[in-house]
Amino acid sequence: MEQALLIVWRESVEALLVVGLLHAWLNRQAEGRRHLPLLWGGVAAGAALAALLAGLMVVAGGWMSGAAGEWFQAAMSALASLLILQMVIWMARNGRQLRSELQSRAERALAQGRRSALALLATLAVAREGSEIAIFLYGTGGTANVAHLLGGALLGAALGAVSFGLLQLGSRLLDWRRFFAVSEVLLLLLGGAMLMNALDRASGQLMGLELPEALYAGLGDPLWDSTAWLDDGSRWGGLIAGLTGYRAMPSAAAVLLLGGFWLLAWRWRRPSRARP
């Protein structure tokens, strides 16, 4: 539930940000209000595309059973982890130019008489965020109760709407810079957790194959045991494990994979010195 809440919270705010920027820009134009139906039509189309992707993933997962289903779930968890990493890096590097880029595209579309391009901007924005939500939720769905998952998603959507409203009001307690700084850390922690979930599922399948002894050791033998300090099978330990990827008895593969994930996040998220 906590994973779904964090994912939907952040992604819904990003989608509302794009739609809000386009809506505010149209309201400032001389004849912008008559183009608002195009904006809302694009939003509806984007939501429909995201729902279609979610349905296709559920159907594909339903077709697969046994080892194939486990590999598919592992692949979706790994993909969700990589998408989180890519999203955080992209927003860190391009967030400041998001408003001007959206407005320049909208201006070109209306100036050239391509009204459909304005709807397409909203469609792509909502479809992208909605598709990412679908992939993230499917990546965590294999280890979560469906009712808890849906409850977390609905609560995250409500929290996202409230957060967006507070951000638009310019609250001193919640500004855009602080919101993205905090949510980036939370998302990266969650990305690490999804990566560990993918490794757990893949390891379970690989253990049944005839592999060299060194690979078995790397996938199964723990490097240390911190169960006495924090057991990932306990209530609080399980919560932290689900949100961060923590393992009380991590294998060498888990340490290398999670360490590589955070190294990439640190290396690629840093602003380029050549960019002003």
CA distance 185 to 208: 36
Q: Is residue 274 assigned to a domain? A: no
With the CA atoms of 3, 188, 133 and 148 taken in that order, what torsion angle do they form, in degrees rounded to the nearest 10? 0
Q: Is residue 255 assigned to a domain? A: no
What are φ and ψ of residue 251, in 5° steps? -85, 170
Pick from 191, 232, 74: nearest CA to 143: 74
What pLDDT score was predicted for residue 262? 92
Q: Is residue 58 assigned to a domain? A: yes
Q: How confident is the model at residue 114 (pLDDT cuts 50, 70, 90)?
A: low
Q: Is residue 235 assigned to a domain? A: no
- Give the three-class secondary structure for 264: helix
Q: Are 200 and 142 in contact (CB under 8 A)?
A: no
Q: Global pTM? A: 0.74
CA distance 6 to 4: 6
- Would the CA dihedral through 67, 70, 76, 77 be positive or negative? negative
pLDDT digits (tens, 9 = 90+) for 6-61: 888 888 888 888 888 888 877 777 666 777 888 888 889 988 998 898 888 878 77
Q: Are 79 and 139 in contact (CB under 8 A)?
A: yes
> Of the ranges 18-32, 33-47, 120-134, 218-232, which one carries the lowest mean pLDDT score?
18-32
Average pLDDT, the chain: 80
Could you give the angle at which helices 2-28 and 115-141 cross, rounded to 10 degrees?
Answer: 170
Q: Is residue 192 assigned to a domain? A: no
Q: Are 50 and 127 in contact (CB under 8 A)?
A: yes
How many CA atoms does the CB half-sphere of 180 hold within 13 Å?
A: 14
Range of the domain at 153: 2-174
Q: What type of residue is 233?
A: G
Q: How confident is the model at residue 272 (pLDDT cuts 50, 70, 90)?
A: very low
Q: Is residue 229 assigned to a domain? A: no
Domain tally for the chain?
1
How many CA atoms does the CB half-sphere of 135 hold within 13 Å?
A: 21
Chain centroid offset of residue 190 CA: 9
Q: How confident is the model at residue 174 (pLDDT cuts 50, 70, 90)?
A: low
Which helix (H) or strand (E) element contains residue 141?
Answer: helix 115-141
